[in-house]
Amino acid sequence: MIVAAGVVGLLFSLYQFWKVASIKLTVSGAAVNDSAKLLGGESSHRLIEIYNAIREGADSFLMAEYKICAIFIVIFGAIVLVLCSYVNLPGQTWDWQRGGLTALAFAIGACTSIVSGYLGMKVAVFSNARTTVSAMDTEHPWKKSFNCAFQAGGVMGFSLCALALLVLFFLICAYCKVFDIMDRTAAPILFECIAGYGLGGSSIALFGRVGGGIYTKAADVGADLAGKVVENIPEDDPRNPATIADNVGDNVGDVAGMGSDLFGSFAEATCAALVVSTSLTTGSDTGLSWGAYMFPLLISGLGIFVCMLCSFLATDLWPVKCEADVEKMLKVQLLSTTVIMTIFLYLIAIYWLPESFTVESAVLYAYENAETGTFTMEHFELKGSPLLAWGCVCSGLWAGCAIGFLTEYFTSHSYTPVREVAQSCETGAATNIIYGLALGYKSAIIPVVLLAVVVYFSFAALDMYGVSLAALGMLSTLSTCLSIDVYGPICDNAGGIAEMAELPEHVREKTDALDAAGNTTAAIGKGFAIGSACLVGLALFGAFITRSALTMQQISIVSPVIFAFLLVGAMIPFWFFAMTMKSVGEAANEMVKEVARQFRTIPGLLEGTPGHAPPDHARCIEISTNASLREMILPGVLVMGSPLVTGIFFGSDAAAGLLAGAISSSIQMAISSSNTGGAWDNAKKYVENGCVLVNGQVQGKGSDLHKAAVTGDTVGDPLKDTSGPALNIVMKLMAILSLVFSGFFKSINNGNGVLNLHRSYN
């Protein structure tokens, strides 16, 4: 079933790519479609010119970024090899086989993450101009343009999930030749080595999210400010030299970065479930069956089949016919996959899991014998069943669906919160900022409560194994969620291309409507990614506790070490957030100055004089590229260095406190900042659509109210597309890194760290 799901997923992504590729951009030759004929000579050449500029800019950035990633893989892979090989056991100091297999899994995970992000970016760039052309169709413009963007998103969604599933499955099969998975002493070592796969995926995701996020928002904020501060010109105006860099950024940040991020979530959640599954017993000395061990992968395989069937609802059975159908159809996708997954998850749980099994608690409980002064260590045990496992998976599945709809409520201008933010612009930018921040903080309440309920239920049911299953449940519809999320940047690019190519107004109306729906769907995707990252981080935290064999006393909140590092961990996301926000600000500042220079030095550019020299798009792309590659290093060092330094110098329990604090504060900041930015963006569009009245007068583009809305949107850009979503990586990467190096932490001074700050007890 796992192999079949992977193969079918790849074949279905090829089918969707074929559908997108059938839309031609050329205006000559026999293969011209009806949409392209409407372009006309000059508009067609201009559209293809813009399309090629975006494609070349995206390619050049990713090549530069991936060169740095390749160097990182070699250097950090060597660190993984050495540290994971140091076991410090009686009679054995080094285990190079264990370290080598972990380093190999790390390299494979990193390369798979690179391929996933690159494929997604290439498909998004390939389809953006085709979505624009599809919006010009005379018979079914809504259906064709929506299908083009949605099916292009599906190429990434299904290819990424299928590729991640197949690579991980065959990696496990290969490692089973080295370790006997049926041996209860060998299985934990096997899956600890496999955890390197998740570390590799999450490490590259950090570069994709931070580097791509800084790129896209440096270009976006710079282009917006250049149009408002330097000269009062519209967004995506062809005279603005930063517009191409802005459109490139949508692909390298919101597509490639998001793809690597969610690939990392899949890999880490699965690795966490596999590590924790070694604590399950069935009364047999051989542990679980092969099928029961592979249950986490079966969940993801089932998701590919269900998402594939449900995708035909949007593209064929109930196609989009008007603007109102766009958001409705995307929500139907989310809900239908959740309902169908709930049914079939029960069937695979009943078939593959044993009728009953025992789950050992993640932590050890120590009891002192007052007479002898000795301690007895033992685990509490929980009785598990397929029904409880199904309940844990479904709790995550439905929480993800609920978080998606809640995110839509707080970020779509179809509902009251965003309309209140738009109306607040009447009294200026200050009140807009106040309302937007309040909305973001408020929007975090219910999602966090939902996640807390899921964690409580799943932990109470099956301990940390239940939490890892809940994380996989939230990610089980990843193919559909990625399709919905990638749809947004594609439509954003399509609208920008229509504006820059100066296509007819009716075309821009359709691309703007698709883009507005894309903003909401992108927000839904971010909410889903943040929620899943929280559960994945907690699942990895549980796997780290399991492999570290920490006692309840060691990880008690009243322990001095735990209490101190809980505070330090809660501070890390704020430090990371500040670094990435400042990086965007500095790069945007440089971009605005460059645009102003070009307006001054290129004759006729600002006035639009016929025959004027073209804007220097390449220079703006270079600014964003250099800034993102330069500024992504220090945040990466912070996130990857903090758990390593803590575990080495202060011990495994200090690392546990650090992780708990980082996850707790990251989830709040990520949700609030992403929703604040999304609300400001759609509030601006609500104003631009002429929906806000002041004293009975419409306040549209160019009004003071609109300028205040633009200010909020500009402030919110790095919140929703850089710093906020990048906190997903903070939660996951710190946890997976601690898990991979848990053996090394234990080998140093018996897990107490080099400095050994632990209190002595009588």
> For residue 587, what pLDDT band results from cuts at 50, 70 and 90?
confident
pLDDT at 760: 52
Read off the pLDDT of residues 190-216 as tens digits, 9 standing for 90 and up: 998 999 999 998 888 888 888 888 888
Q: What pLDDT, in 10s, does the model give residues 680-689?
A: 988 888 888 7
pLDDT digits (tens, 9 = 90+) for 388-428: 999 999 999 999 889 988 988 998 888 899 999 999 998 88
Most confident segment among 118-132, 229-243, 281-295, 314-328: 118-132
SS3 readout for 393-448 = HHHHHHHHHHHHHHHHHHHCCCCHHHHHHHHHHHHCHHHHHHHHHHHHHHHCHHHH
pLDDT more than 70, % of the chain: 92
717, 518 contact by CB (below 8 A) = no
428-455 as b/e: b if 16+ CB within 10 A:
ebebbbebbbbbbeebbeebbebbeebb
What is the C-alpha separation between 1 and 8, in angstroms, rounded? 10
Sequence letter at residue 514: L
Q: With bands split at pLDDT 50, 70 and 90, how would you rate the model's confidence at 234?
A: low
Place of tokens 């709040």: 668
Q: Which of 333-347, 362-376, 686-700, 721-735 is predicted with the least confidence, judged by mean pLDDT? A: 362-376
Cβ atoms within 10 Å of 756's Cβ, excluding its own: 14
pLDDT of residue 52: 85
pLDDT band of residue 5 (cuts 50, 70, 90) is very high
Cα–Cα distances (Å) from 11 to 17, 148, 159, 192, in that order, read 10, 18, 8, 32
28 pLDDT above the threshold of 60? no
Q: Which amino acid is at 246?
A: D
Paired strand residues for 360: 381
Torsions phi, psi for 318 (to 5 deg)? -130, 70
CA distance 138 to 706: 33
Q: Does 654 score more than 60 pLDDT?
A: yes
Segment 719-758, tens digit of pLDDT:
888 888 888 888 888 999 998 998 888 888 777 778 877 6
pLDDT of residue 615: 81
Is residue 761 predicted with pLDDT exceeding 60? Answer: no
Q: How confident is the model at residue 27 (pLDDT cuts 50, 70, 90)?
A: very low
Rounded Cα distance between 537 and 726, Å, is 14
pLDDT above 90 for 678: no
Helix H or strand E encompassing 94: strand 92-94
Dihedral sign of CA atoms 177, 178, 180, 181 in order: negative
d(CA 755, CA 455): 34
Helix 258-277, helix 187-225: angle, nearest 10: 160
Q: Given this model, what pLDDT does residue 236 score?
A: 66
Q: Which of 105-109, 584-588, 600-604 has the lowest mean pLDDT?
A: 600-604
Per mean pLDDT, which range of 434-448, 494-508, 571-585, 654-668 is the poorest?
494-508
- Residue 61's pLDDT is 82
107's tokens:
């390299």
Question: What is the C-alpha separation between 314 and 473, in angstroms, rounded?
Answer: 23
Half-sphere exposure of 498 (CA within 13 A, CB side): 27
**Strand ranges across the sheet with 357-360:** 280-281, 357-360, 381-384
| Range with the poorest average pLDDT among 79-83, 363-367, 657-661 | 363-367
- The predicted model gives 666-689 an average pLDDT of 89
Give the 3-state secondary structure of 693-762. Answer: EECCEECCCCCHHHHHHHHHHHHHHHHHHHHHHHHHHHHHHHHHHHHHCHHHHHHCHHHCCCCCCCCCCC
319 in helix, strand or coil? coil
More confidently predicted of 574 and 214? 574
Q: Token digits for 337?
A: 């996959």
Q: Which of 245-259, 371-385, 664-678 has the lowest mean pLDDT?
A: 371-385
Rounded to whole angstroms, the Cα distance separating 559 from 761 reads: 12
